[in-house]
Amino acid sequence: MSGFKLLAHQFRYDQKLFWRSPPTVFFSVALPLIFLFLLGAVFGDAAERDAKYGLLADQYLVPAIMTLGIVSATFVNIAMVITYQREMGVLKRLRGTPLPTWGFVGARTATSVVNAAMIAVVILAAGKFAYGIDVTLTRLAGMVIVTLVGSVSLTALGFALTVIIPSQAAATAITNMIVLPLYFISGVFGSTENLPPALATIGKIFPIEHLGACMFQVFSPSATGIGLKAADLAIVVAWGVAGMLFAALRFHWEPREGR
């Protein structure tokens, strides 16, 4: 069997693994929707527009929660699942199969992209019907580009994060310790305009801020064309390349706990 057929087989397996895990489906798909409607209930009546992107409060939430959903489906999910598979010996056994390394990584990345795209579409549909966000072909094109680039880059960072996670028990704590503060200082749970300068500067270092900025640019009423700024997209790509290189050099296939 060729490497590409093995990749396709692994992709189908990864998809089955995803959908047969109710907690994974809940946190990846349902939780972003819950955040969307809860935050919409709290802030949705605000008539003010975001000063930077010109979005109403409820419409601001749609690209913001899309960003959260993409991060959850890629970076968070990869870091937790791959650490679990490593510590349970699954990765070690995979090394003894004909599946090449690039096939394994490619299948996991394809799974992340598909899941992130599905989440983005679900949130967009909810935003359209619940909050009347404007959907055009150019905005859909921009959303596709951001979702694809963001998913691949954050998947690479998820693989990189497994290098520093020492055990299965630590995976959830370390992953959430990283993403939860970044959500708040990267504009996911509200505008960063009123943040202390130090926190705003920290947020701009990391890719979630720039991934979110790309989504906001796409849906901004003042956007022309697809609305994307190359600088923000380039920073997301740069983080993905750095994560890929780090994972390629330091990735662990064998359990680390108890060593």
Q: Supply the Cα-derived Rg of the chain in whole angstroms.
A: 18
Confidence of residue 131 (pLDDT cuts 50, 70, 90): confident
Of 37-41, 74-78, 239-243, minimum mean pLDDT range: 37-41
251: tokens are: 């990735």
Q: Quick one: pLDDT at residue 259?
A: 56
pLDDT for 48 beyond 90: no
Hey, where are the domains in the chain? 3-250
Can you tell me the mean pLDDT for 218-247?
90
Q: Quick one: pLDDT at residue 152?
A: 97
Q: Quick one: pLDDT at residue 23?
A: 75
Q: Quick one: pLDDT at residue 5?
A: 87
Confidence of residue 219 (pLDDT cuts 50, 70, 90): confident
Q: Quick one: pLDDT at residue 47?
A: 59
H or E stretch including 236?
helix 230-250
Q: Quick one: pLDDT at residue 109?
A: 95
Residues in Cβ contact with 220 at an 8 Å cutoff, skipping those fewer than 6 apart: 53, 54, 55, 227
Q: Quick one: pLDDT at residue 165?
A: 94
- Interatomic CA distance for residues 129 and 148, integer angstroms: 24
Question: What is the percentage of the chain residues whose pLDDT exceeds 90?
Answer: 51
Of 35-44, 167-176, 208-217, 245-254, minimum mean pLDDT range: 35-44
**Of 23-32, 73-82, 91-100, 218-227, where does the model show the most confidence?**
73-82
Work out the mean pLDDT of the chain and round it to a whole number: 87
More confidently predicted of 199 and 131: 199
Q: What is the DSSP letter of 133?
A: -
pLDDT for 15 beyond 90: no
Tally Cβ neighbours within 10 Å of residue 236: 23
pLDDT for 116 beyond 80: yes
190-213 tens-digit pLDDT: 777 778 889 889 999 999 999 999
Closest CA to 71 of 194, 184, 229: 184
Confidence of residue 179 (pLDDT cuts 50, 70, 90): very high
CA distance to 18, 53, 100, 139, 156, per residue, from 25 (Å)? 7, 31, 27, 27, 21
